[in-house]
Amino acid sequence: MKVELSQWYKILVPRPAVLVSTVSAKGISNAAPFSFVMP
């Protein structure tokens, strides 16, 4: 797939955001936002 350089902003803005969360063995939860992800 070829994308013109002037059209990249349509792909990058708005960026999809994901929230990755974990829970430790002690039950402590943690979450981290990531705004630049690839499939």
pLDDT in tens, 2-25: 888 888 777 777 777 889 999 999
Q: Is residue 24 part of a domain?
A: yes
Q: Is residue 16 part of a domain?
A: yes
Q: Is residue 14 part of a domain?
A: yes
For the chain, how many structural domains are there in total? 1
- DSSP character string of 1-39: ----GGGHHHHHSSPP-EEEEEE-TTS-EEEEEESS---
Q: Is residue 27 part of a domain?
A: yes
Q: Is residue 29 part of a domain?
A: yes
Q: Is residue 39 part of a domain?
A: no
Q: Is residue 26 part of a domain?
A: yes
Q: Is residue 12 part of a domain?
A: yes
Per the structure, the complete domain to which residue 14 belongs is given by 5-34
* Residues 19, 21, 22: CA angle, nearest 5 degrees: 170
Higher-confidence residue: 37 or 21?
A: 21
Higher-confidence residue: 7 or 38?
A: 7
